[in-house]
Amino acid sequence: MIDIAQVRRDTPGCETFIHFDNAGASPMPDPVFRAVTDHMAAERALGGYEAERRAQPALECLYTGLAELLNAAPDEIAYAENATRAWNMAVYALPWAEGDRVIVHGSEYASNMLAFLHLERRHGITIDIAPSDGTGQIDVDALERMITAKTKLISLVHVPTQGGLVNPAAAVGDAARRHGVTYALDACQSVGQMAVDVGKIGCDILTCTGRKYLRGPRGTGFLYIRRDLANRLDPPFIDLHAANWSAERSFDIAPAARRFENYESNVAGRIGLARAVAYARKVGIASIEARIESLAQELRQTLNAIRGVTLQDLGARTCGIVTFTIDQVDPIAVRDVLFQKGISTSVSLVNHARLDLGRRETGPVLRASVHYFNTEGEIERFGAAVARIALNTSTQTENLSS
């Protein structure tokens, strides 16, 4: 059981604000905030290098903590300034050649798809799009039939940014393993929200950001990469941290995941991310997962009961991300009105999810994403605010805020 009063005390913003954009950037709990600001204070007092040396144990915790969280080894973890760069470092390191194929799904993240389009233009690779099953999640049987000798990578988003579905990541892992295809899982919205075990899932690459369900600082992220794959890959670029200049004309690339890191980074951010991982594990991932699921179901029921509101989530299994539209109302205007009322939400745009929102012709959708520190009372207040907007617009389409 989560001590809700305690986690809310650790999240002082809760007193005055309803945080329903945890899939965008969840507020840092106080221990994370303090880890960051304490390190900044140490840098001010001692200088950056001295503060970093003194913080070595805290920095090591990032690797050991993430390894334990994901069931990986510490040398299979690389820190990155965000999830996209972590993903790019691994995916651009694969030895792409003309005619190679990648399989993606409709839930693919915009930056990942942009990278594949870039690789298509640069190397002449082919992008295959696996269909969804009747529920909207990836159709694993169809995916398996699409695998050819030329398939170099399966890229899957565990939980898409633009909808509440949870893709069957482990079933895809089974298919990838059976066919010997490298499997990259974008777990930006799942790590910190639900149990994610790289052994059970069978992915070779996993990427995640710090600021979402893990509640770490902005500008942080990480890469998990299976050790033997990492050791075979040539990073897109290296520096004096990712490699050693061993003689005038030679160098050795660092072992395992370290080769995908770079030297200069936000040390306070790394310490904050390590603290966020520790905080999530202390709250308990299983409890977090259960509470988010129950709050999200309640939120869906609340929204479903409002006339003019349409839920937009797909999937056999859903999670803490709840997407919806309101008849005749611009989602961005709704987001802004809700913000004025002290509630954060966000909007998923069509050009951020062309294979999903674009194909479904939903237009942009509102996204409310709950975390374990949210409450039933907040859902009630949120539902009332949305109902007022929906009612206002059915009588008079202007002046949403009246």
Q: Which residues contact 141 (CB under 8 A, 6 or more apart)?
A: none
Minimum CB distance to ligand PLP, residue 44 (Å): 27
CA–CA distance, 230 with 220 (Å, rounded to integer): 21
SS3 for 126? strand
Distance set, CA 297 to CA 199, 249, 293, 369, 370 (Å): 29, 60, 6, 11, 10
Q: Are 188 and 208 in contact (CB under 8 A)?
A: yes
Nearer to ligand PLP, 161 or 393 (CB): 161
Minimum CB distance to ligand PLP, residue 162 (Å): 8
Minimum CB distance to ligand PLP, residue 170 (Å): 18
Minimum CB distance to ligand PLP, residue 219 (Å): 8
CA angle 205, 208, 210 (to 5 degrees): 150
Nearest to 166 by CA among 373, 270, 313, 324: 313
Q: Are 156 and 167 in contact (CB under 8 A)?
A: yes
Under DSSP, the state recorded for 24 is: H
Write b or e for each residue in 207-220: b if 16 or more Cβ atoms lie within 10 A of its Cβ, otherwise e: bbbbbbbbbbbebb
SS3 for 191? strand
Nearer to ligand PLP, 208 or 334 (CB): 208
Nearer to ligand PLP, 207 or 362 (CB): 207
Nearer to ligand PLP, 163 or 173 (CB): 163
What are residue 105's DSSP bridge partners? 130
CA angle 228, 231, 233 (to 5 degrees): 110
Minimum CB distance to ligand PLP, residue 26 (Å): 12
CA–CA distance, 187 with 70 (Å, rounded to integer): 11
Nearest to 213 by CA among 18, 19, 398, 14: 19
Under DSSP, the state recorded for 265 is: -
Binding site for ligand PLP (CB under 6 A): 82-84, 109, 157, 160-161, 186, 188-189, 209, 221
The β-bridge relationship of strands 309-311 and 321-326 is: antiparallel
Nearer to ligand PLP, 160 or 315 (CB): 160
Q: Are 147 and 174 in contact (CB under 8 A)?
A: no
Nearest to 370 by CA among 306, 303, 322: 322
Minimum CB distance to ligand PLP, residue 122 (Å): 21
Nearer to ligand PLP, 67 or 188 (CB): 188
Nearer to ligand PLP, 162 or 302 (CB): 162
Minimum CB distance to ligand PLP, residue 181 (Å): 21
Nearer to ligand PLP, 203 or 387 (CB): 203
Minimum CB distance to ligand PLP, residue 104 (Å): 12
Minimum CB distance to ligand PLP, residue 369 (Å): 10
Nearer to ligand PLP, 101 or 105 (CB): 105
